[in-house]
Amino acid sequence: MLKRALAIITLLIIGYWIAQGLAGVPFGQDRMLVGQYYLDHVKAQTGSVNAVTAIVVNYRGFDTLGEVTVLFIASTGVGALLWKRRKERTAKTEGSIVLTTGTRLLMPFIILFGAYIFIHGHLTPGGGFPGGATIATAFLLLYMAFTQYEIPHKAFEKTEGVAGMSYVLVGLIGLAIGGYFLYDWIWQTWGWGVNNIGRLFSGGFIPIIYTLIGIKVGTELSGIIDNMLKEEVSE
């Protein structure tokens, strides 16, 4: 009881402290400096309509490469922590008929929706990371519905590696053409899709990189799900 009271007092102090810190940051006022630059130039410089996507993939593409690396390290870490000599699915009860039928019907549409999210990343809210997570939920559904199901490991690992390497490759092509890593060669050198801003075929390399990220995130999260759901079996 004493511990709980102490915790609440600590929390109130911390809350007051954060609120004091935010007192100098009035809500809803225009404080943009760099943001305004991005908003003014995003269409001319990247061809993307969605400013958030343009910042994540184009202006700060190198950051995003680091972020993808963090996700890769996390999935490797999950694999290493949960490593066993022999792992199998040990679920005993089959999913109910609602779950199995629903999974069979919905599975392609969920993957289609995920692909839609990451292909249209430069036009609508979303992008590679939410799209990949959506695709991973389709595989999570399969795991929940069928006791014997496993993802095709070899194919998934290869797809993941190829997607990650292609991201670096796109950046290296930019280095060769424009002089710096992750230079947007499709937009700035070729000017491909200039008359098409706001439609699917525009945005330079943003749709390409987001497709690669979507595939990578989808396979990685499916791998994490697979690692967590399987259990050790004695030989």
Partner 1 sequence: MISAYYFGAISLILIGLYAVLVKKNVLKMLIGLSIMESGVNLLLVSVGYISGRSAPILSEGIGPKGAVDPIPQALVLTAIVIGVATTALALSAAIILYEKYGTLNVEEIRRLRG
Binding footprint of partner 1 on the chain (CB under 8 A): 3-4, 7-8, 10-11, 14-15, 18-19, 22-23, 25-32, 34-36, 38-40, 42-43, 49-52, 55-56, 60, 63-64, 67, 70-71, 73-75, 77-78, 81-82, 123-125, 127, 129, 133, 198, 217, 221, 224, 227-228
Nearer to partner 1, 108 or 198 (CB): 198
Nearer to partner 1, 24 or 179 (CB): 24
Nearer to partner 1, 67 or 150 (CB): 67
Continuous H helices in 91-205: 97-119, 128-145, 153-178, 185-188
180 Cβ contact partners less than 8 Å away, ≥ 6 residues apart: 174
Shortest distance in whole angstroms from residue 229 CB to partner 1:
11
Shortest distance in whole angstroms from residue 10 CB to partner 1:
7
Cβ burial 3-17 (10 Å sphere, 16+ → b, else e): eeeeeeeeeeeeeee
Closest CA to 187 of 64, 61, 37, 33: 61
CA distance 147 to 153: 17
Shortest distance in whole angstroms from residue 77 CB to partner 1:
5
